[in-house]
Amino acid sequence: MRISELSRRSGVSIPTIKYYLRDGLLPAGRPTAANQAEYDEQHVHRLRLIRSLIGVRGLSVSATRDVLAAVDEQQGDVHLLLGLVLGALPVERSGRPPRRDGDAEPDDAGAAAGDVAEDVAALAAEMGWKTSPNPPAAQVVAETLETMRALGMDYDWRSLVPYAELADRAARLDLDQLRDAGDPLQQAERAVLLTVLLEPALLALRRLAQEHHSALRFGNG
Amino acid sequence: MRISELSRRSGVSIPTIKYYLRDGLLPAGRPTAANQAEYDEQHVHRLRLIRSLIGVRGLSVSATRDVLAAVDEQQGDVHLLLGLVLGALPVERSGRPPRRDGDAEPDDAGAAAGDVAEDVAALAAEMGWKTSPNPPAAQVVAETLETMRALGMDYDWRSLVPYAELADRAARLDLDQLRDAGDPLQQAERAVLLTVLLEPALLALRRLAQEHHSALRFGNG
């Protein structure tokens, strides 16, 4: 198909498609004439994936390029792909802004940093999780524990064990869904989608369940 | 304590404290002389809470003001507080950017929108969840289903039921932790913290578990 048809099918404008082509996110079409090329279903599919990563999940163009490169290169090795994706993708911290100039460290921040890293290691050991050294996700867990403590909550890795057990079951659900996913490219794409796109929905489901159970426990009606 | 001591204890700079005071996020201290006021432990605690919401979770000043107002006003009614917080807080979508000018709608986007709203209602009915009409979290679930389908995945509300069951258990864990939380103000604050601050850690735990189980299933070592 021509670029106009590709634009119609994917819902992405022609200037944006040209930008993705120049930027290497979308592979070039098959040249048919000077300044003309032919595109196929793979291009439609790839454009929808790019649109999801950038438009829905708000990834940067460069993070998206890393994810797509991982999908292309590692499609025969789902574990390696998942490892690359898990390592390359920014873990959600809600765009933690840079520290304001002049803000001092809280009194206990220095002391806490070492403790929480050990805490996360203890949690992983308790769960029997073997991961790469210092994955970005572990840093996020450590920061959360640090914040909880700075706020005076009595919170350590043991508090997170029941949540880690739920996360363990969620991860097994995720991987179950890769088994049925057809060819290696589809399996690789599905791994990315399940990891990245499902995250907001998982948090939203918890919010819905909180509202329901909160009404049951604390409601006056 | 004086403002300099408050700054040292909370780790927030004096200009930032003055900004929060002007903006109504932090209640005024007890006036002791012209341009001087005395602050107490509640101010330290409140500042750390503000710092967590803005600095760690990246909430806007106005969203933070809504959360703090809910904590102050509804401290006797945890359910009402949780409802306000769940309704007022932006649900994580990773800063979905505005649509690019000129991008057309994908062919199937219009048809999908109605279906997914019904899908989320079907999911809530299956789980026995009773929530307020059109909570923002339901919209996020609907958008996720819509995206999955636009990418050609065979994904409907039934695919989310196992995740919804895990979310149901997570919500009950969250609420269990409110029971031990001392006075109503602490209970209210804890509800906010558990909802908002724990979210990145829950996603991070899933990533750690994915890495572990991926190695078990697909790894070559």
List, for residues B89-109, the tens digit of each pLDDT value: 555 554 333 333 344 444 444
User: Residue B60: its pLDDT value, please?
Assistant: 78
User: Would an 8 Å CB–CB cutoff place B164 in contact with chain A?
Assistant: yes
Asked if A160 and B201 come within 8 Å (Cβ–Cβ), the reply is: yes
Residues A1, A25 contacting (CB under 8 angstroms): no
Is residue A61 within 8 A of residue A54, CB to CB? The reply is yes
For A18, A80, A178, the CA distances from A50, given in Å and listed in that order, are 13, 21, 20
Q: A207, B195: Cβ pair inside 8 Å? A: yes
Residue among A100, A129, A206 minimizing CB distance to B167 = A206
What CA–CA distances, in Å, run from A1 to A6, A37, A46, A192? 7, 8, 15, 27
Beta carbons of B212 and A131 less than 8 Å apart: yes
> Is residue B112 scored above 50 in pLDDT?
no
pLDDT interval class at B71 (50, 70, 90): confident
| CATH, domain range B1-56 | 1.10.1660.10
Nearest by Cα to B164 from B205, B129, B113, B209: B129
Please report, rounded to a whole number, the percentage of residues in chain A having pLDDT higher than 70.
73
Residue B4 exposed, middle or buried by CB count within 10 Å (0-12, 13-18, 19+): exposed
Could you tell me which of B133, B124, B136, B134 has the C-alpha nearest to residue B85?
A: B136
Is pLDDT at B150 greater than 80 in this prediction? no
Q: What is the pLDDT of residues B200-218, one digit of tens each?
A: 899 999 989 988 888 787 7
Q: Which residues of B touch A135 (CB under 8 A)?
A: 207-208, 211
Do the chains contact at A140 and B190, CB–CB below 8 Å? Answer: no
Segment A195-212 shows an average pLDDT of 88
Size of interface A-B (CB pairs under 8 A): 343
Residues of B in contact with A6 (CB under 8 A): none
Per-residue pLDDT tens digits for A98-118: 333 344 444 444 444 557 788
pLDDT-derived band of residue A178, with 50, 70 and 90 as boundaries? confident
Q: Assess A7–B contact: CB distance below 8 Å, yes or no.
A: yes
Strands B30-33 and A30-33, by their bridges, are unpaired
pLDDT digits (tens, 9 = 90+) for A5-39: 999 988 889 999 999 999 889 999 999 988 889 99
Q: In Å, how far is B31's CA from the nearest CA of chain A?
A: 24
HSE, side-chain direction, 13 A CA sphere, residue A39: 24
Nearest by CB to A169, which of B16, B166, B174? Answer: B166
Backbone phi, psi, residue B37, to 5°: -145, 160
Is A113 near chain B, with CB under 8 Å? no
Q: Given A130, A160, A202, which is nearest B163 (Cβ)?
A: A202
Place of tokens 């930027």: A23
A9 closest CB neighbour out of B79, B107, B197: B107
Q: Any idea where the domains of chain B sit in the sequence? A: 1-56
Q: Is A141 on the interface with B (CB under 8 A)?
A: yes
By the CB < 8 Å criterion, does A121 face chain B?
no
A201 contacts B163? CB cut-off 8 A: yes
Q: By the 8 A CB rule, do A88 and A137 touch?
A: no
Q: ipTM of the predicted structure?
A: 0.75
Q: What are the CA-CA distances from residue B173 to residues A151, A164, A220, B8 (Å)?
A: 20, 12, 21, 35
Residue of B nearest to A106 (CA): B11
Does residue B108 come out as left (phi exceeding 0), alpha (psi in the -120 to 50 range) or beta? alpha
Which residue among B48, B124, B209 places its CB closest to the CB of A151?
Answer: B48
Mean pLDDT over A70-90 rounds to: 64
Asked if A164 reaches chain B (Cβ–Cβ under 8 Å), the answer is: yes
Per-residue model confidence (pLDDT) at position B194: 79
pLDDT at A127 over 90: yes
A195 has a pLDDT exceeding 50: yes
Interchain CB contact of A144 with B (< 8 Å): yes
| pLDDT greater at residue B80 or residue B91 | B80
Cα A161 to Cα B121: distance, rounded to the nearest angstrom: 31
- CB of A201 within 8 Å of any CB in chain B? yes
Nearest to B8 among A9, A93, A104 (CB): A104
pLDDT at residue B50 greater than cutoff 90: no
What is the biggest distance separating any 2 CA atoms in chain B, rounded to whole angstroms?
72
